[in-house]
Amino acid sequence: MSQNCDVRFVASSIKLPPFSLPPSSRHHCHPSSFFSSMQLAPRTTFPFNINFKFNLHPSNFLSKFLKNQRFFHNDDNTKEPTGRSNPFATVFRTLPLFCSASFAVTDTDPLPSSSRSKSGSESGAVVEYKGDDSGAVTQSKNVSSSRVVEEERVLISEVLVKSKDGEELERKDLEAEALNALKASRANSALTVREVQEDVHRIIGTGYFMSCMPVAVDTRDGIRLVFQVEPNQEFRGLVCEGANVLPSKFVEDAFHGGYGKTVNIRRLDEVISSINGWYMERGLFGMVSGVDILSGGIIKLQVSEAEVNNIAIRFLDKTGEPTVGKTRPETILRQLTTKKGQVYSMIQGKRDVETVLAMGVMDDVSMIPQPAGDTGKVDLTMNIVERKSGGGISGGGGISSGITSGPLAGLIGSIAIYHKNLFGRNQKLNLSLERGQIDSIFKINYTDPWIEGDDKRTSRAVMIQNSRTPGTLVHGNQPNNNGLTVGRITAGIEYGRPFRPKWNGTVGLVFQRAGAHDEKGNPIIRDFFGGPLTASGKTHDDMLLAKVETVYTRSGDPTSTMLVVNMDQGIPASPEWLAFNRVNARARQGFFVGPACFLVCFSGGHMVGKFPPHEAFPIGGTNSVRGYEEGAVGSGRSYMVGSGEISFPVMGQVSGAIFADYGTDLGSGSTVPGDPAGARNKAGSGYGYGVGIRVDSPLGPLRLEYAFNDQRNGRFHFGIGFRN
């Protein structure tokens, strides 16, 4: 817009006139036809007038919107130049605004009764021409006798376009637009009523004129046909009411370049469509419900936006009948981003449904919008089918990646007792036990996904764990097959919350006591090579770790961009407690080229301070450098691993993959206390490459891979889920 002072936005509730249809009326002419009238009267007019204004009642707007229909209504009667009311009020049911009109033939100079008798008025024939909703012109005849009056043609000697007062148009460009729109009306052509009407439609169809009246004038040279037009006003300003979420700049840009020019209804129609499209693209219940061109060239847009009036939760059983729910309604409502007073968004509503499903205690969730009476607002009903029980017992199995030898030594079984909806607040309690030939983990975990009274979606997790895991990742197998395990007793609390779109953060405090044991469970402080197994020299190390983690995910798709950065800081609350700092980062980026998916992964980390050797970074294995055993490349104070993979569909749920990995300890292996990597002749760097297949399953992709390392040794790898 050239001048912002001519643009005014008014954010207000919807206040529109009641919906009503214009009274229908018919206008007839006697079968003598208007051409006979031309011969008797020096001037005959054909009223055809369209007023560009439509309004919509809020309740009708919402009903039609929910049915995906547009409904526009014009309730104004226009005036002819003669002062008589124009009976051809227009009802707009589809865009464009001018596409539907009524047209009737009237005689401004009634014929004498004698003339009517001669022309056959006694037959009772009535001829009417109307424009239907699609803009097509139809002719209907009501004949009370057997004689049908044929349409007559009249020879036109001259065709002109003038103002509504019969004067020359000031704007010659508008006169040219009208003349260029004419198809049948040409000099020295014989015309019928239908052809004149169609040309009137064409002139109106240019979008530059608010009325058009064909006038036949009998001159010495013959019949002159004059189209008397009234151009639209010049655009001088804009008023937009009811647009609470529509950006003012969007509307200004839509009308940009039109200031000072004649309003074109076609262009106005495009602007309205673009505004409605803006709402539709964002799934918002909103549209332009009224347009009026005021005096002075001011365009007034009335925008109707359906705000959320109320949100109700309704629990249903498997048969769809209402029932009593176990989950508290307020627990569900606070999960929703849709709030009362907001303009309802279908996209936002879909996300809310997915969020409620992600609570893990629902079998089915749907959201249904309905009009809230005649308020122009919308009521939302969320139908919820809960799972039969929020708790239960589960069992399963898996493979431990830390065990590299022994028949079935890596297999583990698990059992868990859980409840996913404590007190109807979606709080979760889980007691689990995992047991293998070497591994064992007992864990109690309590999670509150959203702390009550917090408005930042802060979660809280409390964990107590007692575990025993293989120490082969760093120390390898002891000679004579004497296995080394690391026992940990851990207790901690963590808080997490989203702090930006796609970003989540977690902070926590964890106490850990860790020590090494032989295969009989006896504590040991040195390995076979004499290297220390603890940092303190005692049978166990105590540490209090402050944890910070930041996660960025573009979407839930594992091939999308992901970035994870975490840091652990040892706090020496006691002189004997360890103090060290560990930083670790992982990044992943995927993209498609045709059906093939390219995936690039990177991870790296560094440690400073006093730490036990089993806390060093291990390199090699299924989730590191494939082609090597777990931790066989090296273990260091620092590390870096890169991986590239191309996967492609094979058939159904099966896909193939080729990959290559590289990892290095960046020369830091010797700085780990006791140099466990050097004592076991680990190279400190290496690469692997191979092929694999993926099978989609409810647990995630099942990965079977065969890889060669840089020593030309091959190895199978099996994994469940995506690579870390």
How is 205-273 classified by DSSP, letter by letter? HTSSEEEEEEEEEEETTEEEEEEEEEEPPBP-EEEEES-SSS-HHHHHHHTTT-TTSB--HHHHHHHHH
- Higher local confidence (pLDDT), 274 or 472: 274
Q: CA torsion, points 236, 240, 246, 251, in degrees to nearest 10?
A: -10
Give the pLDDT band of residue 528 (cuts 50, 70, 90): confident
Q: What is the C-alpha to C-alpha distance for residues 616 and 476, in angstroms, rounded to an integer?
A: 13
Q: What is the C-alpha to C-alpha distance for residues 100 and 133, in angstroms, rounded to an integer?
A: 5
Structure tokens at 412: 């583990």
Q: What is the pLDDT of residues 220-275, one digit of tens each?
A: 888 999 999 999 999 999 999 999 999 999 999 999 888 889 999 999 999 999 99
Percent helix, percent strand, percent coil in the chain, to nearest 5 = 15, 45, 40
Q: What is the C-alpha to C-alpha distance for residues 305 and 285, in angstroms, rounded to an integer?
A: 6
Q: Taking the CA of residue 328 as centre, how many other CA atoms within 13 Å lie in the half-sphere pointing to its CB?
A: 12
- Higher local confidence (pLDDT), 409 or 105: 409
| Residues in Cβ contact with 23 at an 8 Å cutoff, skipping those fewer than 6 apart | none
Q: Work out the end-to-end distance of the chain between its first and last CA atoms, rounded to an integer number of angstroms.
A: 53
Question: Does the pLDDT at position 407 exceed 70?
Answer: no
Walk across the sheet containing 43-45 and list its strands. Answer: 43-45, 209-219, 222-231, 154-163, 189-191
The DSSP code sequence of 572-621 is -SSTTS--EEEEEEEEEEEEEETTEEEEEEEEEEEEEE---GGGSEEE-S
Q: What is the C-alpha to C-alpha distance for residues 622 and 716, in angstroms, rounded to an integer?
A: 9
pLDDT for position 75: 37
**How far is C-alpha 189 from the chain's CA centre?**
57
Give the pLDDT band of residue 326 (cuts 50, 70, 90): very high
pLDDT for position 351: 94
Question: Does the pLDDT at position 600 exceed 60?
Answer: yes
Q: What is the pLDDT of residues 439-451, one digit of tens each?
A: 899 999 999 999 9
Among 252, 205, 241, 232, smallest CA distance to 293 is for 232
- Higher local confidence (pLDDT), 570 or 219: 570
Average pLDDT of the chain, as a whole number: 80
Q: What is the pLDDT of residues 127-141, one digit of tens each?
A: 333 334 433 333 333
pLDDT for position 24: 35
Q: Give the pairing type, strands 523-524 and 541-553.
A: unpaired
Q: What are phi and psi for residue 572, nearest 5 degrees?
A: -80, 65
Q: What is the pLDDT of residues 653-666, one digit of tens each?
A: 999 999 999 999 99
Among 210, 229, 297, 295, smallest CA distance to 258 is for 297
Q: Taking the CA of residue 267 as centre, how many other CA atoms within 13 Å lie in the half-sphere pointing to its CB?
A: 15
pLDDT for position 5: 38
Q: For residue 438, what are the CA distances in angstroms to 7, 317, 434, 472?
A: 76, 46, 11, 11
pLDDT for position 129: 34
Q: Cα dihedral sign for 620, 624, 629, 630? A: positive
Among 416, 418, 433, smallest CA distance to 361 is for 418
Q: What is the pLDDT of residues 561-588, one digit of tens each?
A: 899 999 999 999 999 999 999 999 999 9
Q: Cα dihedral sign for 199, 202, 208, 211? A: positive
- Cα angle 596, 601, 602 (rounded to 5 degrees) comes to 160
CB 643 within 8 A of CB 723: yes
Q: For residue 18, what are the CA distances in angstroms to 305, 323, 375?
A: 17, 40, 12
Question: Does the pLDDT at position 36 exceed 80?
Answer: no
Question: Does the pLDDT at position 688 exceed 50?
Answer: yes
Q: Give the pairing type, strands 427-436 and 440-448.
A: antiparallel
Q: What are phi and psi for residue 397, nearest 5 degrees?
A: -155, 175
Question: Does the pLDDT at position 193 exceed 70?
Answer: yes
Structure tokens at 416: 């868990």
Residue type, 418: Y
Alpha helices in 381-422 (DSSP H): none
Q: What is the pLDDT of residues 147-158, one digit of tens each?
A: 334 578 999 999
Question: Does the pLDDT at position 501 exceed 90?
Answer: no
| Whole-number percent of the chain with pLDDT over 70 | 76
**DSSP at 92:** -
Q: What is the C-alpha to C-alpha distance for residues 432 and 464, in angstroms, rounded to an integer?
A: 11
Question: Does the pLDDT at position 486 exceed 90?
Answer: yes
Give the pLDDT band of residue 529 (cuts 50, 70, 90): confident
pLDDT for position 14: 31
Residue 408 has a CB neighbour count (10 Å cut-off) of 9
Q: What is the C-alpha to C-alpha distance for residues 223 and 225, in angstroms, rounded to an integer?
A: 6
- Cα angle 385, 388, 392 (rounded to 5 degrees) comes to 135
Give the pLDDT band of residue 433 (cuts 50, 70, 90): very high
Mean pLDDT of 86-114: 33
Residue 243: exposure state from Cβ atoms within 10 A (0-12, 13-18, ≥19): buried
Q: What is the C-alpha to C-alpha distance for residues 53 and 16, in angstroms, rounded to an integer?
A: 13
